Structure 1
């Protein structure tokens, strides 16, 4: 019985392979299309893709193209070829906006761009593109069944940009480029006013302003001390009991002491 089952499975497998090979070598696009759809339905996406690649140019602008275009994009998506899937699914949604699958294709295309977004420490060009694509989907389909997932993905992408911007600003402080650090923290706080890193960002801006001021040449010290004092005030105004209070108060004491020389 066991041997019989093995032979049946082997026969079906060889039959499927033979059917695919015949279709692949065929010059009849209808035969290739039928085989591609069959491979797709059997979730043999790799084989389906190779056949779709052959027939997609032939069906361009012809009846039946929408099904070929949709399955082609979904086959790429299911094999995690996200660049190709995004292109194909976007093309389908653009060409057939009234098709019942257009909304799904638009969402999955945007999701592909999100999948291509790298870790926050790398260049975030793809993340910015993914946010644009997902926001475009949200704007075009405000009542979509995918809305909750779309909003979650968009939020995760923005958090990644936020983390990147914060780490860049922190790096300027770490390498002691205190002037650049202050500019970077100002931009960060302006771009992400509700950030979870706000307290630390305000403290590090103070730290940068303080260190720049106390190590300045006399002609620039007064202005920079005042800037550092303003940074202190911003921190305690945001959170009076900040975890950095002791360090910040020590800085303020030094700032006030140094400012006395300019009041004489």
Structure 2
């Protein structure tokens, strides 16, 4: 019996709440709609808040309240994990209010929304590049911002993600080997470009070993007149790796390559 009464009370409350919301949607009072939209936002009823803010946005256009509405809408969409729509609102705000009271926050949140929307590293990284660019612009514009260190942390993380994407591409070329061409050379070029673009990446050691292994394999498949130079280039690469990572996790691979090439180098010289 108590459960039945409780269920009835809940149903009545829900009905009352829905009725109130439906009346608000039909209301022609923008002040009431705005105030209720703020209430819904504070109560974390973001769908209802968004609908009401959308309804009154035209009425308050070119007023001080318009800034608040765009800011509320962007934040509400973030809470709903709709980061794409949130970025659109933040871009709208920055365009409309380049010196507005929320401009700095909007530029940071725009970058953060791009960051939240970045996909798995194996997928297209357009959003990652957008996030990186936006965060870099933010720290350039606001070098003394309280959240500058946080922005720089995201910049490093995003750089690492793009470097990892290039690492995966380089590894793919390496795995393809000589299939339909010299994929070892493509692996070297891809990894070397990644190191130039992201020199402080946490994937640096892995990129370097891909370069070494690719050069090694390329040298083994080389024509006789090119073999000696490529052997020497590979040996130089092995020492470069060992100098930078004397206790690295790929030292044994580097040593094995060195031993093999140093053993066969005299044979090449004699040829």
Mean Cα deviation higher: 210-219 or 233-242: 233-242
Matched, 1:207 2:208: no
The question of whether the paired residues in 1 share the 8 Å contact of 2:108 and 2:138 is answered with yes
1:117 deviates by: 0.7
Distance in 2 of aligned mates of 1:79 and 1:38: 17
Mean Cα deviation higher: 226-235 or 156-165: 226-235
1:5 deviates by: 7.7
1:85 deviates by: 0.9
Where does the alignment leave 5 or more consecutive residues of structure 1 unmatched? none
The question of whether the paired residues in 1 share the 8 Å contact of 2:228 and 2:269 is answered with no
1:148 deviates by: 3.2
Distance in 1 of aligned mates of 2:256 and 2:160: 28
Matched, 1:256 2:265: yes
Matched, 1:225 2:238: no
Mean Cα deviation higher: 192-201 or 122-131: 192-201
The question of whether the paired residues in 1 share the 8 Å contact of 2:228 and 2:265 is answered with no
Distance in 1 of aligned mates of 2:92 and 2:231: 57
Gap change, CA 1:196 and 1:110, over 3 Å in 2:
closer
The residue number in structure 2 matching 1:185 is: 191
TM-score by length of 2: 0.83
The residue number in structure 2 matching 1:134 is: 135
Q: Secondary structure at the match of 2:58?
A: helix
1:243 deviates by: 3.7
Distance in 1 of aligned mates of 2:147 and 2:246: 42
Where does the alignment leave 5 or more consecutive residues of structure 2 unmatched? 178-182
Distance in 2 of aligned mates of 1:225 and 1:231: 10
Aligned length: 262
Distance in 2 of aligned mates of 1:101 and 1:4: 48
Distance in 2 of aligned mates of 1:196 and 1:42: 42
Distance in 2 of aligned mates of 1:179 and 1:98: 50
- Write the deviation string for residues 203-234 of structure 1: whole angstroms up to 9, x where unpaired: 33222112212222234334433332332332
| Cα RMSD (Å) | 2.8
The residue number in structure 1 matching 2:253 is: 244
The residue number in structure 1 matching 2:89 is: 88
Gap change, CA 1:41 and 1:235, over 3 Å in 2:
closer
Distance in 2 of aligned mates of 1:258 and 1:91: 68
The question of whether the paired residues in 1 share the 8 Å contact of 2:74 and 2:86 is answered with yes
Distance in 2 of aligned mates of 1:198 and 1:110: 25
1:183 deviates by: 1.1
